[in-house]
Structure 1
Amino acid sequence: MIDDGRALFLQIAESVEDQIVDGSLPEESRAPSTNELAAFHRINPATAAKGISMLVDKGVLYKQRGIGMFVAPGARAQLLGERRTAFADRFVDPLLAEARTLGLGADDLTDLIRERAAIGSAAGLTEGTLR
């Protein structure tokens, strides 16, 4: 989990986001405390707190005084939306630009994606995950 190239607090925030997105940390459930995160990852509690604070600022987590942090209603949908946008920015936009350069239309791209998905099914991708 810990990657030397990126700030630890960002990695902590992304780890909690991943748990929300994959459903292992459902909405309205108690999120790990900064002390729990610090102990688990063997980092300073202030670093963990910075990551958690970032999620509070985004509206993904909220604090219940004296009880702890909880996953906000709508947090999963919010994070999925952010990730879809980032995915489109990082992968789809360049794909479309290259397709235009090659003279490929939407149907050509769809056929190419379906063809590659069939090949990639052995790697865990299925056509159903692309719909």
Structure 2
Amino acid sequence: MKKMQFNFNSTEPIYLQVAEQIEEAIFARTFSEGEQVPSTTEISKEFHINPATVLKGMNILVDANLIEKRRGVGMFVVPGAQGRIVEKRRNQFYDDYVKNLVSEARKLHITKPELAQLIERGFQAK
């Protein structure tokens, strides 16, 4: 089974950690589109997690159209899943960072060209 790690002391529920771990593996192409992901039973046995908890996490990914259930066969990464994750993360990046960056730049009276120069400087920094 591909490497997964769970923090049982975290305040984040285990089912969300399951969903995040599998999503991250799809994003990193550890699980390719069309490839089977570990079963609920495999994950629950290997990591000593209740199967219902694992299933709850996997269902988040089913609802997000990242994996699909094939009755009697298992769960598989759907075509386009990696691209959907990239798009979701780009939107999240915009919401979490870009909006705040522009807001703070306006407060500091940094112009758009000045901000672009600062961003360019950030890309050049090692």
What count of residue pairs does the alignment treat as equivalent?
120
SS in 2 for 1:59: coil
Which digits, 9 at most, give the CA deviation of each residue in 1:107-127, with x for residues without a partner?
2122112222332x2xxxxxx
Asked if 1:41 is matched to 2:40, the reply is no
> Cα distance, 1:42 vs. partner?
2.1
Letter in 2 for 1:28: G
Q: 2-side partners of 1:109 and 1:42: how far apart?
A: 49
Q: In angstroms, what is the RMSD of aligned CA positions? A: 1.3
C-alpha displacement of 1:41: 2.5
**Does residue 1:85 correspond to 2:91, yes or no?**
yes
Distance 1:51 1:65 in 2: 18
Q: Which has the higher contact order (CA 8 A, sep 6+)?
A: 2
Q: Pick closer, same or farther for the CA change 1:71–1:101 going to 2, 3 Å.
A: same
Within the candidate set 21, 27, 36, 1:15 is matched to 21
Q: Structure 2: how far apart are the matches of 1:77 and 1:38? A: 28
Unaligned runs of 5+ in 2: none
Alignment partners' CA distance in 2, 1:60 and 1:29 = 11
> One-letter code of the match for 1:46?
A
TM-score by length of 2: 0.88
Q: Deviations over 1:20-63 (max 9, x none)?
A: 00111111110111112212332111110100011111111111
Q: Which one has the bigger helix percentage?
A: 1
| Separation of aligned partners in 2, 1:56 and 1:100 | 41
**Structure 1 residues without counterparts, runs of 5 or longer:** 122-131
